[in-house]
Structure 1
Amino acid sequence: MPPLSVRVLSLGLLFLSTGPALALEPFLATYQAYNEGKLAGAATMKVSHHGGSRWQVDLAITGTRGFARLARLNIEQSTVFDATGEQYRPLSQATVQKALFSGKRMVGTYDWNAGTAQWLGDIKKKRRAPLPLQPGDMSALLMNLAVIRDAEPGKPLNYRVVDNGRIREYDYLVAEQTEIIAVEDLSYDAMRIARTNGGNDETIFWVANGVPTPVRILQREDGQDGVDLRLVDYQGVQ
């Protein structure tokens, strides 16, 4: 579930208005990372421009408290992609998971000429076979940017995600009304975007006008909060 040297957040309330989507720009965002309702560490999301239509989005979550700290849990994800018009087309994807006694690395390539995507590394054999690509397919990490681009009050959102050797459909619905999301001394008037086809596996984004990254990303399972990222700062980057 995205980063320059000028701090653009300020204390107070950020109001949402319905207007044109933000143009894709480089930024670095910093989040508090909660797990099961308890502060467990920090996360960063970074978007970098590599020239022309080539971009990269990175997410890193680091556990610093409780079990997360003791296990030295680190998760890093990265997607290189082309941004042409309003389409974000993934080119490569990598996931690195590090823990005290184990670690995993998976790398995928999206070959749009051949129309397939394939993953190698520490991944189950059944997920190493090439997967068929369709126009509009994206990685899971790219959804963090797509919801910023696409969200409008009451609008359904549909994404086909090809990631880590699997194809999954993600359906979301944007709430009709905004709601206040508070993180420490910051408050956002944000749109709630909730997954509608995940069953007991929920993912919820909150997005606010003028903010290039979700202000909160919450994963829930069986009605219980799991990983919860809450935005505390973002900066533009060169």
Structure 2
Amino acid sequence: MMRRLLMLALLPLLLAVAGAAWAVEPFRASYDVYRGGRAIGVATLQVVRDGARWRVDLAMDGKGLAGLAGLNAQQSTVFDEVNGTYRPLAQSTVRKVLFTRKQTTGTYDWSAGRATWTGDVKKTRRAPVALQPGDMSGLLINLAVIRDARPGATLQYRFVDDGRARPQQYVVSTRTEPMTVDELHYDALRVDRVQSVAEQTSIWVAEGVPTPIRILQRENGEDTYDLRLIEYKGA
């Protein structure tokens, strides 16, 4: 009985410590973008305050033909932090290809329990998506991976973005590997998501760094996007 009372007394403290460990912090990170080992552009990932909420932004700018082929894109998710979880509230994506501009906007209505998208959305993705606790956009999942990665862990998330909902599983490596950013050396964990035999995403995260060290997307055995951190600045 005494042990149970002690645990109950400690519970608020443990929750407070966990909440502090999960707290969002603003940052701005710059990346070089590669494809097949060739530099094709730059990218910026940032988390900023948006009033009482937060916003995470990813902007990619292509060089030359890469820009014409659609590397120019901006994504944003407005979110809040509830009991250590990242809850999306609004999402937008803008893509520029040649002389066209496509934009989609998403709203996560948690009181109604559904998310909807408008704009240049495929007909098959215009129906409302029923929300479940823990649902996140793609950008928020990247932040959650940084928060949750532990050696040998398996991470489960539900991706709800652009009119789609699907489970995603990430597997964290058991050991770190050395990586260098701007002459600074990090021991980074590799986190892999294999959606299918043909598609894979890998994210490298390092303790104390609020942004991925590297993000690599591969399709059919070839690199599609390879974002490599150049520098980052905290609050």
Give the whole-Å Cα distance in 2 for the aligned partners of 1:175 and 1:21. Answer: 21
Residue segments in structure 2 that go unaligned for 5+ positions in a row: 1-19
Post-superposition offset of 1:199? 2.6
Structure-2 change in CA distance of 1:186 and 1:70 (3 Å): farther
- Of the two, which has the highest radius of gyration? 2
Q: Which residue of 1 aligns with 2:26?
A: 26
SS in 2 for 1:134: coil
Is the Cα contact below 8 Å between 1:172 and 1:194 reproduced in 2?
A: yes
Q: Which residue of 1 aligns with 2:149?
A: 151
Percent identity between the aligned chains? 56
Q: Which residue of 2 aligns with 1:42?
A: 42
Offset from partner CA, 1:201-234 (integer Å, 9 cap, x none): 1000000011001110000111211101011111
For 1:59-208, what aligned pairs fall within 5 Å after superposition? 59-64=58-63, 66-71=64-69, 73-183=71-181, 185-208=183-206
Using the size of structure 1 for normalisation, the TM-score is 0.85
Offset from partner CA, 1:112-142 (integer Å, 9 cap, x none): 0111000000111121110100000000111
**Aligned partner letter, 1:61:** M
Is the Cα contact below 8 Å between 1:214 and 1:231 reproduced in 2?
A: yes
Give the whole-Å Cα distance in 2 for the aligned partners of 1:213 and 1:183. Answer: 12
* Among candidates 227, 230, 237, match of residue 228 of structure 2: 230
Aligned residues: 216
Post-superposition offset of 1:79? 0.2
Using the size of structure 2 for normalisation, the TM-score is 0.87
SS in 1 for 2:175: coil
Give the whole-Å Cα distance in 1 for the aligned partners of 2:41 and 2:128. Answer: 36
Q: Which residue of 1 aligns with 2:14?
A: none
Q: Which deviates the most, 127-136 or 196-205?
A: 196-205
Residue segments in structure 1 that go unaligned for 5+ positions in a row: 1-19
Higher RCO (CA-CA < 8 Å; seq separation 6+): 1
Q: Which deviates the most, 224-233 or 178-187?
A: 178-187
Give the whole-Å Cα distance in 2 for the aligned partners of 1:223 and 1:96. Answer: 27
Higher helix share: 2
Q: Which 4+ stretches in 1 moved above 2 angstroms?
A: 20-23, 69-73, 181-188, 196-199
Is the Cα contact below 8 Å between 1:21 and 1:148 reproduced in 2?
A: no
Post-superposition offset of 1:100? 1.7
Offset from partner CA, 1:20-42 (integer Å, 9 cap, x none): 95631111100111123211110
